[in-house]
Amino acid sequence: MRDDIHERALQLVDKRQVEGLTAGEHNGLEAHLESCAQCQKRALETERALHALRSAVPRFDVTLVLTTQMRARIRARELIENAARMRALWISCTLSWVLGVVSAPLLWRGFEWIGHRWAVSRAEWMTGFALSWVAPAVVAAAVIACRQARGSSVTEPR
């Protein structure tokens, strides 16, 4: 029998395990293996190697599962608590923004009155108004950013 037939059979022996064979390839290989002891030996070696690989069971320390479950529970609680805190923060931010928008005309008049009362320039009292209006949002954004930065550093693996 020609070498290339054996070569092809050996390729199919591996392909059977790695990718699977078509019906035609399977029948051709089986027919060849019945008549060729050398290729049959190779097929047997392949099956034995894979059987050995599959039958090797890693030793497993059960305390690893318990430790992992405990760590996961603690982390889950942290994440849930953190999410609740963040939700409260977002709600208060939204409320604060809505109140800010609603009270803006009053605040504007208030700053305008103070500007006239103490003879402050228009640019100055307008700057004061702008700062007082954005200050809560800036503080809230800073708090959220700090919390998120702290949260992401905790999630970094060792």
Partner 1 sequence: MGLATCWFMNTVEQEAGEVARGLRRRDPSLLDHLIQQYQYRLFRYLLMLTGSREQAEDLFQETWIRVLEKGHQYKQRWKFEVWLFTIARHLAIDFMRRRQPQSLDALLQPTGADRPLELADTASSSAFDQAFQGEEAASVATALRHLPPSYREVLTLRFHEDMELEEIARVVDSPLSTVKSRLYRGLAMLREWLKDIYA
As a whole number of angstroms, the distance between CA 132 and CA 126 comes to 10
Q: Which of residues 71-110 bind partner 1 (CB under 8 A)?
A: 71-73, 75-77, 79-80
Rg of the chain over all Cα atoms, to the nearest angstrom: 37
Q: Per-residue x/- marks for partner 1, 4-33, CB under 8 A?
A: ----------x--xxx--------------
- Cβ–Cβ under 8 Å, residues 128 and 111: yes
Q: Is 50 in the site for partner 1 (CB under 8 A)?
A: yes
Reference 31, options 59, 1, 72, 75; nearest CA is 1
Among 61, 106, 117, 123, binds partner 1 (CB under 8 A): 61
Residue 32: alpha-carbon gap to chain centroid: 50
Query: For residues 118 and 156, which CB has a smaller minimum distance to partner 1 in the complex?
Result: 156
Which residue of 5, 31, 49, 134 would you call a contact of partner 1, by CB under 8 A? Answer: 49
Residue 46 and residue 14 in contact, taking contact as beta carbons nearer than 8 Å:
yes
Nearer to partner 1, 32 or 43 (CB): 43
Q: How far is 151 from 47, CA to CA, in rounded Å?
A: 50
Q: Where along the sequence are the contacts to partner 1 (CB under 8 A)?
A: 14, 17-19, 45-46, 48-50, 52-61, 64-65, 67-69, 71-73, 75-77, 79-80, 155, 157-158
